[in-house]
Structure 1
Amino acid sequence: MPAFRAWRRRTLLGLSTILGLARRGFFIPYRYAESLPRAGELPPYGPFEEHLDARRDKISAWLDAIDGFAADLEAIGDRPPPAPRWNQDWFPRADAAIAYTIVRTIKPDRIVEVGCGHSTRFFARAADDGGLDTRITAIDPAPRADLAGIERVELLRATLQAAGEGPFRMLRQGDILAIDSSHILMPGTDVDMLLNRILPALPDGVYVHIHDIFLPDDYPADWEWRGYNEQQGVAPLISGGGWNVEFASHYAATRMADRVDAGVLGRLPLKPGAREASLWLKKG
């Protein structure tokens, strides 16, 4: 989003909230806020970087798996919707490739998505190419990409709070929960509901994808206006045990760039300015 549009949006929503005209976000008084580093200025989270370093072999194994589907990935072009395409920055290159690869590899019976669009297209394409019977339940009040024509997708046009916990009770070992929601962790938000109600109740063996996670680094400086804080809840979730990191796009792109570029990812289009930031976990 251009800088002026981002400033205008944040200002209008902020004024509405502070003046009590409407609830359009959150304002949290903190007298020492001026002393804190701005977005993008925090150093890497050392303990979490060590955690990912210890999972480098697993991440590398998934990069090998991506290379195993090179021909299928390179066959994805610029067909009209609802076909997936690389020329977009909502769900770019490594994020899309690992989503495709995991579906082809683990062959889930069911995928539940919170927040959908381009990711859904890649999930569906993987299921189609693999001849799978995978069903996709997508929860999103306003999808950013047209999903019409994808028969395996059931779209619930609702917030997570309105959809409730029912769709997640159907997930079993080897299924997928994909999260690309508000990215705001506050009491009662979708992230709160996911991290503190839905994820703890999932059975072992469920794969969980969380998008826009830049761990072990801070959120990008030019994303400050978004106010994202989801990964501050994701890091202790993983560090506390019970979850294994399967893949981390940002870590791979920034700490394993030579390996990434040596495979099919190095040949796939990546839109300028796009940020790869998928985190894949497995419970148990």
Structure 2
Amino acid sequence: MPVPPLSVPLSTRLRYLAMGLRTVVGGRPGGFFIPYRHADSVGHAAPAEYPAAAAAFERAADGFREVLAAIDDHAEALLTIPDSAPPPSPRWGQLWFPGLDAAAAYALVRRHRPARIVEVGAGHSTRFLARARLDGDIAADHRCIDPRPRAALDGLPVRWVREVLAVDHLPLFTALEAGDIAFFDASHILMPGTDVDIILNRILPSLRPGVLVHFHDIFLPDPYPASWAWRGYNEQAAVAALVANRALDPVFASRYALTRMQARQRSAALAAIPVPCPDRESSLWVRVPRA
């Protein structure tokens, strides 16, 4: 298990230490330890960019610009959302679903008017999706699968499934049709049996063409931030392969739009939206292609 740096709060570091010790001594697992005798070479081999994903995003750049234009089209509604607000209202002053991620989600819901939304990992994103539905008079069946959301869902027009994602939830996704949304902000850890394993190998193959899929904490075409190495995330390497091999059609990528398209400088709405930590915006939207 990666070790949290000193910049991480002491309580978090101690908790991770306890989880790691339980794991390596054979107690109740608190994570994953994978012996690999060449592990000391991996840091030097980490990519500076995923070039095939970058090429896929470049091909999709016109569509990305359409999403940015849709954000500006909804500037008035977006800018009524305050920096701080009591639950269950959305607010810009939070780190978990900031700035461009929230604005893009809002604009895409208004644009596609989904009949169904299934969200894995809920909280601040749920509040923005619900606001888009409210403002657009969109009567969607919105389900949230999360045993413990980061932000309270009470008072939102959603159906909350207080469970960890499991294969038993597959029928919720097979019911989605073109324009509906499968929204994932899960553990970001791809290991046999994890939620990411279920998402990539059970849910995605079952989705109908035209379904919109969202992944959060995807920094493609860049690697994960170096400061996040201790988290052990590995989801985006698998997602990069799906995008590069055209198994998923890119719709929008926050990281690419900000770093390669100067999105914040080109959008009056984005320039006016407060962002507590600009390097955290990391939504990836894709569409299930037609066979």
TM-score (norm 1): 0.95
State whether structure 2 residue 191 is matched by structure 1 residue 186: yes
Corresponding residue number in structure 2 for 1:268: 273
1:95-130: CA deviation from partner (whole Å, max 9, x where unpaired): 000000000000000100000000000000000000
Structure-to-structure mapping, 1:1-284, within 5 angstroms: 2-37=8-43, 42-77=47-82, 78-150=84-156, 152-161=157-166, 163-257=168-262, 259-263=263-267, 264-272=269-277, 275-284=280-289
Amino acid at match of 2:117: I
Structure 2: gaps of 5 or more residues: 1-6
Q: CA RMSD in A?
A: 1.6
How many residue pairs end up in the alignment?
281
Amino acid at match of 1:54: R
**Structure 1 position 141, deviation (Å):** 0.8
Amino acid at match of 1:195: L
The residue matched to 2:93 in structure 1 has which SS?
Answer: coil
**Structure 1 position 23, deviation (Å):** 1.0
**Structure 1 position 241, deviation (Å):** 2.1
CA–CA distance in 2 between the matches of 1:9 and 1:214? 27
CA–CA distance in 2 between the matches of 1:273 and 1:261? 13
Amino acid at match of 1:277: S
Q: Contact (CA 8 Å) 2:167, 2:198: kept in 1 or not?
A: no
Q: Contact (CA 8 Å) 1:156, 1:163: kept in 2 or not?
A: no
Amino acid at match of 2:122: C
Percent sequence identity over matched residues? Answer: 48
- Relative distance call for 1:274 and 1:217 in structure 2 (3 A) is closer
Q: Contact (CA 8 Å) 2:174, 2:208: kept in 1 or not?
A: no
- Relative distance call for 1:43 and 1:265 in structure 2 (3 A) is same
CA–CA distance in 1 between the matches of 2:190 and 2:271? 34
1:170-221: CA deviation from partner (whole Å, max 9, x where unpaired): 2111100000000000011100000011111100010000000011111111
TM-score (norm 2): 0.93
Amino acid at match of 1:218: P
**Structure 1 position 55, deviation (Å):** 1.3
The residue matched to 2:122 in structure 1 has which SS?
Answer: coil
